[in-house]
A and B are shown apart, each in its own frame.
Chain A
Amino acid sequence: MFHSRMSDRAMLVVSAVALALGVSVSSMATAETVTITFANWAAAEGTTKPAIDKVIADFEAAHPDIRIKSEAISFSEIARQLALRVRAGNPPDVAQLAGNDTFLIAATGKLEPLGGYLDVALKAELKPDATSGLSYQGKLIALPWTLAPAGLWYDKAILQKAGLDPEKPPRTVDELMTAMAAIRKSQPDVIALAVDTTNRPFSLQSNWPWMATFGADPLGATGRADSPQMKRYLAWMRELAQNRYIDPGRKIGEFRPLAAQDKVAFVWDQVLLQGVIQSASRMTDDDFYKRWGVTVQPAGPGGKSYSFEGGHQLVMFADSKQKKAAWMFMQYLAASPSAIRDYTLGPGASLPPLVRMPSPELAKKLDTPIYQAFTSRIIPTVTTPPYGPAFAAASSAIMAGVQQAVTGTESIDQIAGSMQQQLERR
């Protein structure tokens, strides 16, 4: 009896403890799953959707308590959408952005500064060039995800046929003009130079290095759209059109399949051109390097070469309720070996923003003539235009002027003057 009373009480205590333990154990087992919304265009485009879906699935497998809800929004709409959503109070947690859009959204003041999330290890891994251009009002507001600078691609077969040395692409604008004249003569059905002359902020971004190499700075602190340098740039664009070296009005994406058919001699395009050409023409890597090379921009009267960074960044919104999980996802996308292998170097056809590759296998993938040219020679020439809301607003005035120079008949002075007037009116 004594025994049973003791065991009764013991039983009571034991069961109470067991109950308490059991409750806490079960609450640990059913830790809340957190859902992160990720606004992006990678999932909206056929080329990249399978890859980004896989990366997300891999992340979810590695982190069972985090779910990613991918919101597919088109590249041309995402800035507008995010601006509306920020205003309306329902932004996503994480978003993919690029170029001027990143700074447009930063201007709303609703982006979470990321400096505090970068730990020492990651800070050492990231290329300083990659993060230096991503500050707004002194704070880092975006994590670089992919690097995709632009260079001058050249089709060696076309150069050879025109009697030019396929291993010595033009280094100055004058040499470029001579080369294009030769190409036009020998192969009149080839487009000599592919540049984007549509009227969108992206084309201003893409043409900014050309304006810079002529010494023009239409939006700078002391810059003017009617400066002699800008007029010289506009006159050069007109010369390109009059000699039929360019095909005006085409988006850069519309030139890429033509390049795959050897119908374009020089392409001013980002590192991802290789991926598009190879997927369209089914060329092997070796054949591609035999056919295509890339070099820095031919220098203009200013004497310096420039490039622009067309890669993608990741931002986190200040209103997010799960910042820690969002950061883990962002870090995974940018720096994890599997994401780099499956997305960045895969269909993304871009460079990771890391100083060193996290594995020898990935380091080997980067050891190609094209990637080397970008990493060692082109990336150092990247210049950042004055991104921001003013850039977007000004881009339609400036690109309209460029279009008028290219296809219109008014004098360059007139065009530059009216451009400056419009910029002043803002």
Chain B
Amino acid sequence: MMQRATVRVVRDARRVPWLDPMVLPAAGALAVVVGYPVVYTLLLSLQDYDLLGTVPERFIGAANYRKLLDDPTFWQALGNTAIYTFGSVAVAALLGLALALLTESVGGHRGRLARTLLLTPWAVPFVVVAFLFRYMYLQNGGAINAALLATGVIDAPISWLNVSSLALTAVMITNIWTMTPFFFLLLAAALAGIPNEVIESARVDRARGWSLVVQIKLPFLRNALLVSSLLMIIANFNDFAKIWAMTQGGPGYATTTLVIYVYRQAFENFAIGYASAIGVVWLLLLLAFAIAYLRALRTS
């Protein structure tokens, strides 16, 4: 009896297919449309390739990667990307959480209206956000300085986008404004999904206010929070339109993130081999981060 079961298992194991036909359309399409460019990019990263064709392309092996290690602008861009991405996501997640908790107990029409209106920033297209905030951040003539001057918070106009120490912060504020509704929506939904019995039994145990939040509600939100953060971190690495339309990566290199640096290398210096190498490094970093993150998520 036992022996027959073992044999059956082994036979099943040998019959596990490599692919499932249902996966083919998606996998096939992506292999062509994404796979080919990715392989091409890998190959490009090993070459000295001038997009203008002024010098013929030649294979230089890992030279682009060595150049990258010595390039201070690359490291600055990496640092800026880390600050921009993790900073914006952390603040947006916290603000979204705060908003979700604040509006949770407000019911009825007013509550629904408030919740709907709070989602508005996310519905504005990124290009529009970028130009709008550029307009508002203007040192003379921008709405933000005008409002701050009128209410007496400052007494001289601040140059938001043109002072190296402020520019990254200004751009992050814009990013946070756009992203917070996403976290708010998610966390509000997750909060609504906490089973009532859990809340009730906690209330019976006299858990109230702050401790109710921290000990009972937060654990339920943990998964939603962590996964959505990962999504947003990945999306933010690619955030080109916002920063480009506001500062083009300036002043100096203060708001140059990896995406901006790659664009400049590829389409202003036309050094597409080098740009591809940066892209590959970026991909590897993000991959390593995501794997570590997901593993941490799974084990807890």
Contact = CB atoms under 8 A, between A and B. Distances in A.
A124 interface: no
Contacts, number: 87
A104 interface: yes
Contact of B268 (A84, A392, A403): A392
Nearest to B266: A80
Residue of B50, B250, B252, B271 with most chain A CB atoms under a 10 A cut-off: B252
A105 B271 CA distance: 15
Contact of A109 (B53, B164, B247, B253): B53
Contacts of B251: 199, 248-249, 400, 403-404, 406-408
Contacts of B163: 407-408
Interface string B245-268: 001111111000000000010011
Nearest to A201: B268
A108 B52 contact: yes
Interface string B37-61: 0000000000000111110000000
Given A87-B53, A107-B54, A191-B140, A198 B248 contact: yes
B138 interface: yes
Size range of the chain A interface in the assembly: 35 or more
Contacts of B161: 249
B252 A403 contact: yes
A80 B248 CA distance: 16
Given A247-B139, A248-B159, A396-B264, A199 B250 contact: yes
B269 interface: yes
A393 interface: yes
B126 interface: no
Contacts of B253: 400
A107 B269 CA distance: 13
B270 interface: yes
A389 interface: yes
Interface of B: 50-54, 71, 73, 138-141, 159, 161-164, 247-253, 264, 267-271
Interface of A: 80, 83-84, 86-87, 104-105, 107-110, 191, 198-201, 247-250, 258, 389, 392-393, 395-396, 399-401, 403-404, 406-408, 422, 425-426
Q: Which 7 A-B pairs have the closest CB atoms?
A: A249-B162, A403-B251, A393-B269, A199-B250, A400-B252, A404-B252, A248-B162
28 contacts: A83-B51, A83-B270, A86-B53, A87-B51, A87-B52, A104-B52, A105-B52, A108-B53, A108-B54, A198-B250, A247-B139, A248-B251, A249-B159, A249-B251, A250-B138, A258-B141, A389-B269, A392-B269, A393-B269, A400-B253, A401-B252, A403-B162, A403-B251, A404-B251, A407-B159, A408-B163, A408-B251, A408-B252
